[in-house]
Amino acid sequence: MHNSLNNLIEIQKEIQLKINELNNSIKIPQIIAVTKTHPMSNILPLIKHGHLDFGENKVQEAIVKWQDIKKTFPNLNLHMIGKLQSNKVKHAISLFDYIHSLDNEKLANKIALEQAKQDKKPKIFIQVNLENEDQKAGINRSELHDFYKFCKNLKLNIIGTMCIPPNTSEGNDYFLEMNKINQELNFKDLSMGMSGDYLNAIKNNTTYVRIGSKIFGNRA
């Protein structure tokens, strides 16, 4: 068995054990296998095993890597998890099924125009920056409700929120607050948790975890 597939299966077991330990009705989250910089030779074992959700950070890399593969495997879900530049929206709408990083009105307007042209509506998460960190993208907590209304008026398919906790945090308090925000907005989906903190995210009802290095190893 390929290392990447073995790693994915072990993570799935670990997640199931954590949910059993919590002893409640927490939904098993979808694992987004983050494939940025990794070759298709390491990814295909997961695809052939039946894994459907994969994440990329850059539109150009995703086009080269995934355009043909998605034609061969049309059930795959490709997630844009990195910063999306407005000049890449046309290609992103064409290729991606999910966008996890909506964080400003200019980008929202561009997505709205492009999805109408292509007659395709990706599922979108609003990225939230709870600590107002200058180096990170995301909507401030105080602006989130108004921004969501703005997106609804554009008829964007907003399904939840996404966050990247501060590097100094293991995520517990941050994830707790994000879960609260998601419930306030009546979202069913929540995108949080990465290789180092996904078990903490699961305790707070995340429905998508974004795991790269723990599946594929260090970036190529």
Mapped onto helix, strand or coil, the DSSP state of residue 142 is: helix
Spans of all domains in the chain: 3-12+30-207
- DSSP H or E segment with residue 127: strand 123-127
What is the value of pTM for the model shown? 0.95
The highest-level CATH class for domain 3-12+30-207 is alpha beta
Single out the residue of 157, 192, 186 nearest to residue 173, CA to CA: 192
Tens-binned pLDDT, residue by residue, of the chain (220 aa):
799 999 999 999 999 999 999 876 788 999 999 999 999 999 999 999 999 999 999 999 999 999 999 999 999 999 999 999 999 999 999 999 999 999 999 999 999 999 999 999 999 999 998 877 666 788 999 999 999 999 999 999 999 999 988 776 556 788 999 999 999 999 999 999 999 899 999 999 999 999 999 999 876 5
> Cβ contacts of residue 48 below 8 Å, gap of 6+?
none
Question: What does the alpha-carbon distance between residue 96 and residue 58 come to, in Å, rounded to a whole number?
Answer: 11
- What is the Cα gyration radius of the chain? 17
